[in-house]
Amino acid sequence: MMKRKRVSYTADFKLNAVEKANEVGNREAARFFNVDESNIRLWRRNKTNFENCDRRKRTDRRGKPHWPELEAEIHKWILKERDDGKAVSTFSIRMKARVLLHAK
C-alpha cells in the first residue's frame, strides 16, 4: 500500500468538509473529499479555529516559537545584514542564534 503524500488544506476546504460531515457523516465526507476520516473528526473538533481565521490561508501551519525574544533579535539582525548588502544564509542564522543564546 502506498503512503499518502502530506497535504495542507485551506480553512475553507476544512469548513466545507465539516459541513458535509454534519450532513452525511464522517466516513462519507472523508470519501467525498478524499481525506482520512480522522482528519474530518479532528476538523470537526477545531471548527471554531477555522471560522476565526482567513479562509484562504493554510491553517495550523506552525506552533508558537520557543524563544520569542531570540527570534525577534535574529529578525533585527537579518534585516540589518540585508540592509548592509550582505547575504544571509541559514547557516549564518543558526550560528548567530547560538551566539545570542549563549550570550544570555
* Chain segment 70-103, per-residue pLDDT in tens: 999 999 999 999 999 999 999 999 999 999 999 8
pTM: 0.56
* Chain segment 19-33, per-residue pLDDT in tens: 999 999 999 999 999
- Show Cβ contacts of residue 64 under 8 Å, excluding neighbours closer than 6 positions: none
- Mean pLDDT for the chain? 89
Q: Which residue did the predictor score with more confidence, 52 or 31?
A: 31
Concatenate the DSSP letters of all residues of 15-40 into one string: HHHHHHHHHH-HHHHHHHHTS-HHHH
Of 98, 94, 78, the residue nearest 86 (C-alpha):
78
Determine the angle formed by the axes of helices 68-83 and 90-103, rounding to 10 degrees: 130
Q: 12-21, 37-46, 64-73, 76-85: lowest mean pLDDT where? A: 64-73
**Following CA atoms 42, 47, 50, 52 in sequence, which dihedral angle do they give, to the nearest 10 degrees?**
-150
